[in-house]
Amino acid sequence: MSKNDVTKNDISKKNSKVVVVFFVILGIFSAVINIGKLEYFSDKKPDVDKIAGITDGETGKMKKFSDIDLNGFNARTITGETLTSDYFKENDITMINIWATYCGGCVTEMPGISKLYSERPKNSNIISICEDSEKENQLATEIMTDAGAEFLTLIPDEKLTNVLLSHVSTLPTTIFVDKAGKMVGEPIFGARTPGEYKEIITDMMELAKNV
């Protein structure tokens, strides 16, 4: 065997070792990356608050909602009637959906709320407050008509604006009040299905009995 043959053979062996070492390192690196991904995604639980449109600041605001008392408001509806907080006395729980004409999600869920109104649990009621209805009364009326809404929609007065709407930073927002106009439970941020709202209303009615 010539010196050249020995040299070529040695080089070939060295190259093979380099290739093997390279793939071993590559395999280890890939394993580390995959383990890292698994740990990352295992820690990523669904952020319900973010899905609903709640920011960290809004989570803190939920505590402020607990002190809301709507007793004493006197507002007009988008169709011209006058409504006061005495309206709450007629039912154990009143669901109040807060929305605006510029909120696409609000408008989209309105037909569902209209359906819910006709199927709502006994001794419960539903009304809505359109945030911008003072300026957009005609548009608000058209939206509610198109949705087939038979429940009342309020134009917020000073009381509703200061006590309730001042806390709202996500639309739609839905709250529940008892006969006295005091809030029961926690606000609902974001849209829900009629079925989900119906279950929540039932839960709020039970909660109101224990307050």
- 51-209: CATH topology is Glutaredoxin (3.40.30)
Residue ranges of E strands in 100-187: 124-130, 153-155, 173-177
Of residues 211 and 114, the one with the higher pLDDT is 114
Q: What is the pLDDT of residue 53?
A: 46
Dist CA 69 CA 176 (whole Å): 11
What pLDDT is attached to residue 15?
Answer: 55
What DSSP state is assigned to residue 90?
Answer: G
Q: What is the pLDDT of residue 138?
A: 97
**Higher per-residue confidence, 59 vs 75:** 75
Domain edges within the chain: 1-44, 51-209
pLDDT tens digit sequence for 23-57 = 656 555 554 444 343 333 333 333 333 234 444 45
Q: Which residue do the tokens 């071993």 mark? A: 24
* Confidence at residue 5, expressed as pLDDT on a 0 to 100 scale: 45
Q: Are 78 and 133 in contact (CB under 8 A)?
A: yes
3-class SS of residue 132: coil
Instruction: Give me the phi and psi of 202, to 5 degrees please.
Output: -60, -45
Rounded to whole angstroms, the Cα distance separating 52 from 135 reads 27
Q: Can you say whether the dihedral through the CA atoms of 174, 180, 84, 119 is positive or negative?
A: positive
pLDDT value at 82 more than 80: yes
Per residue in 83-125, pLDDT (tens digit) is: 999 999 999 999 999 999 999 999 999 999 999 999 999 999 9
Q: How many CB atoms lie within 10 A of CB 137?
A: 18
| Cα gap 167→68, rounded to integer Å | 10
In tens, the pLDDT along 133-190 reads 999 999 999 999 999 999 999 999 999 999 999 989 899 999 999 999 999 999 999 9
Of the candidates 121, 89, 114, 85, the residue with the CA atom closest to the CA atom of residue 99: 114
pLDDT at 68: 87
How big is the CA angle at 188 (ends 61 and 133), to the nearest 5 degrees? 90
